[in-house]
Structure 1
Amino acid sequence: MSGYQMSKIYGLTGGIAAGKSTVLDFFKTAGCKVYDADQIARQVVEPGTVGLQKIAQQFGSEVILSDGTLDRARLGSLVFGNPLQLQALNKITRPLIKAKILKIIQETKASTSDTIAIFEIQLLFEGNYQQYFDGVIAIYVTPEVQLHRLMKRNNLTKKVAMDRINSQMSMDEKRSRADFVLDNSGDLTHLADEFDHLFMQL
């Protein structure tokens, strides 16, 4: 297919409180198209979707608010701390999210515009998405910085913050599996330099 410009799409991931939204803003400013898996996760359970229908069948109509939207707090209280219920929810939502993500990746790769698209997926390696991208970028922060930022951002105790961090794939694991690593352990100036250096490689 010589002569054709191809779009490239990269997966972006990182641990909790690693600064994914900040980095995503950098990409947006640099003129990239950006996508966010959390947004997709919300779209697949909007009113009128198969996802919402299946959730109501599984968990009962009390998880639907009077305006027809999903009662996230109610659903959260049902699945939080209940592995079986959480599994049932994931079984409904994950295939729908994956189908939508793959469709966007396919459309981007098929596009003839010479653009770079970035797709932020927190559970990128866990969901085995790396195979679909032109490359994976991991945002890395040191464990101390991560803990400090998470406690500060979410107003958490050290123990709760550590539990949240430990429930995820480790930063080192993500870093070793990624094609590109962006170090966000320093301040914004440091991150901007790191970003410029990375962007030239894409």
Structure 2
Amino acid sequence: MSKIYGLTGGIAAGKSTILNLFKDHGFQVFDADKVAREVVVPGSIGLHEITEQFGESVLLSDGTLNRQELAKIVFSDSKQLNKLNNITRPLIKKNILETIAEVKKSSNSTISIFEIQLLFEGGYQEYFDGVISLYVRPEVQLDRLMKRNNLTKKVALERINSQMSMDEKRRRADFVVDNSEDLTHLTKQFDRLIAQL
């Protein structure tokens, strides 16, 4: 019987890095960010509704979503972020639940990983065989996010604070991986994790 685990963690916790480790070890991996991009492609209901809500300024000249412009609007105003989430979350959830159902139907005894940043916020935990949370110390998270996205401390903190805290995600998870150190440390934790799955 196939198993599927949800993977979550705060922004800049290193989810892409651990997802690549899973991929390299032959696990089937899914990424909610990819789903989120698919539900707002030109011609989609998602993009139409976003444009209706936020105006034409959130579109690039080729008709695709201007993510940077939209981020400026929603990350500094929780009401606007809620409006965006009310449009995209139902579309994303439908797609994710269909994928989980497909995986669980498989008769192969494989293990799949589905990375969802807003896993607990979206109420996805009940659909998985377990939840893995990637943890990183707050000062490391802030430093990584500022460097990775070239953000000021204020903007980086706004993005971090717009999400569920890392401690809360760690508390709710079935498995926790600490990614506050280097790749060698992460790899050791990863090996320990897959032995438990």
TM above 0.5, one fold?
Answer: yes
- Residue 39 of structure 2 corresponds to residue 44 of structure 1: yes
Task: Tell me whether 1:55 sits opposite 2:55 in the alignment.
Answer: no
**Structure 1 residue 116 corresponds to structure 2 residue 111:** yes
Partner of 2:136: 141
Matched AA of 2:67:
R
| Aligned alpha-carbon RMSD (Å) | 2.1
- Worse overlay, 42-51 or 71-80: 71-80
What is residue 29 of structure 1 aligned with on the other side? 24
Unaligned stretches of 5+ in structure 2? none
C-alpha distance in 1 between matches for 2:170 and 2:79: 31
Distance 1:137 1:34 in 2: 13
CA–CA separation in structure 1 for the residues paired with 2:132 and 2:34:
19
3-state DSSP of counterpart to 1:127: coil
Deviates more, 1:17-26 or 1:50-59: 50-59
TM-aligned CA deviation for residue 66 of structure 1: 4.4
**How many residue pairs get matched?**
197
* Aligned CA distance change for structure 1 residues 53 and 195 (closer, same or farther; 3 Å): same
Residue 61 to residue 134, structure 1, CA distance change in 2 (3 Å): same
Secondary structure, aligned partner of 2:176: strand
Distance in 1, matches of 2:59 and 2:152, equals 32
Q: Do the aligned residues in 1 keep the contact of 2:8 with 2:133 (CA within 8 Å)?
A: yes
CA displacement, residues 117-168 of structure 1 (integer Å, 9 cap, x when unaligned): 1111111111111111100000112223223322332334444433433332
Aligned twin of 1:3 = none
Contact 2:75-2:158 within 8 A present in 1 as well: no
Per-residue CA deviation, residues 157-201 of structure 1 (Å, 9 max, x unaligned), is 444433433332222111111000111122111111110110011
- How far did 1:10 drift? 0.5
Q: Give the gaps of 5 or more residues in structure 1.
A: 1-5
Q: CA deviation at 1:9?
A: 0.7
Partner of 1:171: 166
| Segment of structure 1 superposing worse, 64-73 or 93-102 | 64-73
Counterpart position of 1:125: 120
Question: Are positions 1:187 and 2:173 aligned together?
Answer: no
Q: Distance in 2 between matches of 1:143 and 1:20?
A: 15
- Give the TM-score normalised by the residue count of structure 1: 0.87
Q: 2:125 and 2:68 mapped to 1: Cα distance?
A: 31
Q: TM-score, normalised by structure 2?
A: 0.89
Q: Deviations over 1:31-80 (max 9, x none)?
A: 11111111111100112222122233334455444433223344444445
Compared with structure 1, are the counterparts of its residues 162 and 59 closer, same or farther at alpha carbon in structure 2 (3 Å cutoff)? closer
CA gap of 1:43–1:201, structure 2 versus 1, over 3 A, is: same
- Aligned pairs for 1:150-165 within 5 A: 150-165=145-160
Identity %: 69
Report the CA distance shift for 1:85/1:15 in structure 2 as closer, same or farther (over 3 A).
closer
